[in-house]
Amino acid sequence: MINADQILKLVNDYLVQLPYDRRPASLYEPIRYVLSMGGKRIRPVLMLLSYNLFKEDPETILMPACALETYHNYTLLHDDLMDNADLRRGHETVHKKWNANTAILSGDSMLVLAYQRMQQCSSDKMAEVLALFTETALEIGEGQEYDMAFEHRDDVSEEEYIEMIRLKTSVLLACALKIGAILAGASKEDADNLYRFGEQIGLAFQLQDDFLDVYGDTRVFGKAIGGDITSNKKTFMLINALNHANEEQRRQLESWIGATKFDRDEKVAAVTRLYNEIGIDRMAQDKIAYYFEQSRKYLQAVSVDESRKAELAAYAQRMMNRQY
């Protein structure tokens, strides 16, 4: 078996050498640019770790693993355009470096490339893999739509939010793990347990994002914390603060949410103080721990020796220990 760091190197080396020899080059240059920005490569690493539970040659599925990374970065490209974001991983976003039309067209081509790369898997597994990949892509779009709709609502429940992040974030991690299992010839039960493992890890991972945006260390986080607070983003933190606040706390929260002019640092400090008073920090940490513990149960149910699961379990733990 190989470890996660070795797998990450395999993925990065493979992505660099992928050819873009179609024309016009101007259509494909933004795609190469997006995939060259780096990133944690969590999805292809999870796919290869899952495959490696059952087989010793994960390098043979690098193309479908990189298909998932291509798809993931396609979603980020379009997210940046919708959010009018200036930077991604410290680099100019595609619509800023080129223009919005280029971002749309290159993004669309990136999605097609993801499918082209995914279909280069074993022919006997292709139908099952593409069905799962397609269902996942549809769910991610649904999650994004829910996320946008929540911006205009003040009555979003925790249950709705959890379902939104399951669709927007978790299902792609789950898909990566299950495709790895399918390509390795795992049983349906093992593949399904790995899917559930990824789903629960994804929920914990996204809730940790919410938490770090408020309580992360700016020096480690790489950007100013409190972005979700200043934009009134409907996160686990804000939803539960509104649901559990007393009358005065809710009045203060709603005042900050409704403010059109404010000092950024003052708003972040005031809302964070309210979160602390209400106990949102502990509530979020408890929920993160709950989903992580649930994920471990599904991994334990996978019918391979515990020693073979150690690297995947350790990688999941590293995901939860991150500070950015």
Q: Please give the structure tokens belonging to residue 24.
A: 């016009």
pLDDT band at 154 (very low <50, low <70, confident <90, very high): confident
Report the percent of the chain where pLDDT is more than 70.
Answer: 98
Rounded to an integer, the average pLDDT of 170-187 is 98
- Number of domains within the chain: 2
pLDDT computed for residue 230 by the predictor: 95
CA distances from 135 to 27, 140, 141, 142, 171 (A): 27, 9, 10, 11, 9
Q: Are residues 196 and 281 in the same domain?
A: yes
Is residue 275 predicted with pLDDT exceeding 90? yes
| 116 and 131 inside one domain | no
Question: DSSP readout, 78-105?
Answer: HHHHHHT-SEETTEE-HHHHS-HHHHHH
Task: Return mean pLDDT, the chain.
Answer: 95
Burial of 47 (C-beta count, 10 Å sphere; 0-12/13-18/19+): buried
Is the domain of 161 the same as that of 286?
yes
Tell me: the pLDDT tens digits for 292-306?
A: 999 999 999 999 999
Which tens digits make up the pLDDT trace of 134-150?
999 999 999 999 999 99
Residues 93 and 194 in one domain: no
Cβ proximity of 234 and 208 under 8 Å: no
Residue 29 belongs to a domain with what CATH number? 1.10.600.10
Residue 211 is predicted with a pLDDT of: 96
- Give SS3 for 128: helix
Are 90 and 107 contained in the same domain?
yes
Which of residues 120, 155, 180 is at a domain's end?
120
Both 255 and 138 in one domain: the answer is yes
- Range of the structural domain that residue 39 is part of: 1-120
- Give the lowest-confidence range in 12-16, 105-109, 221-225, 241-245: 221-225
pLDDT digits (tens, 9 = 90+) for 90-122: 899 999 999 999 999 999 999 999 999 999 999
Q: Are residues 175 and 107 in the same domain?
A: no
Q: What is the pLDDT of residues 70-84, one digit of tens each?
A: 999 999 999 999 988
Q: Quick one: pLDDT at residue 11?
A: 98
- Quick one: 99 and 130 in the same domain? no
Are 19 and 95 a contacting pair, CB within 8 Å?
A: no
Which ranges constitute the DSSP H helices of 119-187? Answer: 126-150, 158-165, 171-183
**Is the model's pLDDT at 63 over the cut of 90?**
yes
Q: Is the domain of 174 the same as that of 138?
A: yes
Are both 89 and 128 inside the same structural domain? no
Q: Is the pLDDT of residue 223 over 60?
A: no
Q: What is the Cα gyration radius of the chain?
A: 20
pLDDT at 219 over 80: no
The answer, yes or no, to whether residue 222 has pLDDT greater than 60, is: no
Residues 6+ apart with CB under 8 A from 174: 136, 194, 195, 196, 197, 198, 199, 202
Q: Identify the domain boundary among 120, 138, 156.
A: 120
CA angle (143 as vertex; 140, 148 as ends), nearest 5: 130
> What is the reported pLDDT for 323?
66
Both 135 and 115 in a single domain?
Answer: no
Q: Which of 120, 152, 180 is the last residue of a domain?
A: 120
The verdict on pTM exceeding 0.85 is: yes
Same-domain pairing of 4 and 67: yes
